[in-house]
Amino acid sequence: MLQSNPDAGDPNTSDSNGMGVWTPDAGGIKGKFVEVMADRSTRQFVSRGEISFSIRVNGQTFSGTASAVFFDAEGRQLKAPVAATLEGQRVIP
């Protein structure tokens, strides 16, 4: 997967790009997404975020958990991991 943030997202660190992968795991899916952020004015690397997730698909819905950890330019963890519960439903046009 590939992701980019729009300029309007955050005027200071909105220049970001993310890439990730996922794989089957014991009846579900696990994956990790890494986002790299740059300062808009200097174009210098400022931080990265690592988001891990695990979901289970059930028909047209899924549920699971995610955890995000962010690091500064020197690789120091900025704060405790952020946890999230994931729920979704397939969109059919």
Closest by CA to 4, choosing from 21, 18, 23, is 18
Task: Read off the pLDDT band of 32 (50, 70, 90).
Answer: very high
For the stretch 35-92, pLDDT in tens is 888 887 787 888 999 999 999 999 999 999 999 999 999 999 998 899 999 999 999 8
pLDDT at 5: 65
pLDDT at 40: 75
- The parent domain of residue 77 ranges over 2-89
* Global pTM value: 0.76
Q: How far apart are CA 55 and CA 88, in angstroms?
A: 10
Six token digits for residue 52: 């891990």
Q: How many domains does the chain have?
A: 1
Q: In what order do the strands lie in the sheet with 2-4?
A: 2-4, 15-25, 28-38, 45-58, 61-72, 82-89
Q: HSE on the CB side for 16, CA within 13 Å?
A: 22
pLDDT at 35: 86
